[in-house]
């Protein structure tokens, strides 16, 4: 694997940070490439070297965070170890608050919901629910939107409870409803 020049990494990070900051201020449709360029302190040409347009930039940013969440669940790497989703949400507050607030990208919620559904199908034990005659797909479609809604509520209410408590609460609810 070839090393990426540090200047390129710095530019990409500045661009990603700029778009998240701007999305916390206004709707994505109102953000221009010049706004991103000005905020990131890079030229528009630099942005276009890495991204086709602001939607490509946002898509890659969303994908990066979804992959991080996946690593938290299924990676054995040290960086993902012992980090819960809610701790990651808190750590990446500017991104998730922009995505889940009314000013955020509406398609993020859909991508996040698809991710949660995939996680449920891959990692949840629904044997107990099936013993009571519950259909697995019905359980998936019940729990996934509930989880996404809980995360939205948590952000929209200023994260009123610590991440560990949120994670514990979710686990208790799942144990009570799936076991």
Q: How many domains does the chain have?
A: 1
Tell whether 47 is covered by a domain: yes
- The CATH number covering residue 171 comes to 1.10.357.10
Where does residue 124 fall: left (phi above 0), alpha (psi -120 to 50 degrees), or beta otherwise?
A: beta
CA angle 36, 88, 59 (to 5 degrees): 40
Quick one: how far is CA 83 from the chain centroid? 14
Asked whether residue 128 is domain-assigned, the answer is: yes
Distance CA 112, CA 100 (A): 10
- Please give the Cα distance from 133 to 128 (Å, whole number): 9
Write the DSSP assignment of 107-145 as a string of letters: HHHHHHHHHHHHHHHHH---HHHHHTT--HHHHHHHHHH
Instruction: Judge whether 78 lies within some domain.
Output: yes
Side-chain half-sphere CA neighbours of 166 within 13 A: 22
Flag whether 104 is in a domain: yes
Instruction: Identify the pLDDT of residue 37.
Output: 96
C-alpha angle 135-137-141 in degrees, rounded to nearest 5: 120
> For residue 113, what are the CA distances in angstroms to 36, 89, 139, 140?
27, 15, 14, 11
Would residue 114 count as lying in a domain? yes
> Is residue 9 within 8 Å of 15, Cβ to Cβ?
no
- Answer yes or no: is 2 within a domain: no
User: Would residue 3 count as lying in a domain?
Assistant: no
Other Cβ atoms less than 10 A from the Cβ of 12: the count is: 21
Give the domain extent around 99: 8-178
- pLDDT per residue, tens digit, the chain (179 aa), is 566 688 888 999 999 999 999 998 888 889 999 999 999 999 999 999 999 999 999 999 999 999 998 888 776 554 444 678 899 999 999 999 888 875 556 778 889 999 999 988 887 776 666 667 778 888 889 889 999 999 999 998 999 999 999 999 988 887 766 65
Task: Examine residue 1 and state whether it is found in any structural domain, yes or no.
Answer: no
């Amino acid at each position: 694997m070839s090393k990426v020049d540090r200047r390129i990494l710095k530019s990409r990070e500045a661009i990603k940070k700029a778009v998240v900051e701007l999305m916390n201020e206004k709707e994505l449709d109102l953000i221009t490439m010049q706004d991103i360029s000005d905020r990131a302190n890079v030229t528009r040409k630099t942005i276009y070297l890495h991204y086709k347009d602001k939607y490509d930039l946002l898509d890659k940013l969303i994908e990066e965070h979804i992959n991080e969440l996946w690593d938290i669940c299924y990676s054995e790497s040290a960086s993902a170890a012992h980090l819960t989703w809610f701790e990651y949400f808190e750590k990446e507050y500017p991104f998730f608050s922009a995505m889940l607030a009314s000013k955020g990208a509406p398609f993020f919620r859909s991508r996040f919901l698809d991710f949660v559904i995939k996680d449920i199908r891959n990692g949840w034990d629904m044997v107990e629910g099936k013993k009571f005659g519950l259909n697995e797909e019905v359980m998936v479609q019940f729990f996934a939107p509930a989880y996404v809604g809980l995360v939205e509520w948590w952000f929209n209410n200023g994260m009123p409870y610590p991440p560990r408590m949120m994670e514990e609460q979710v686990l208790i609810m799942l144990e009570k409803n799936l076991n």
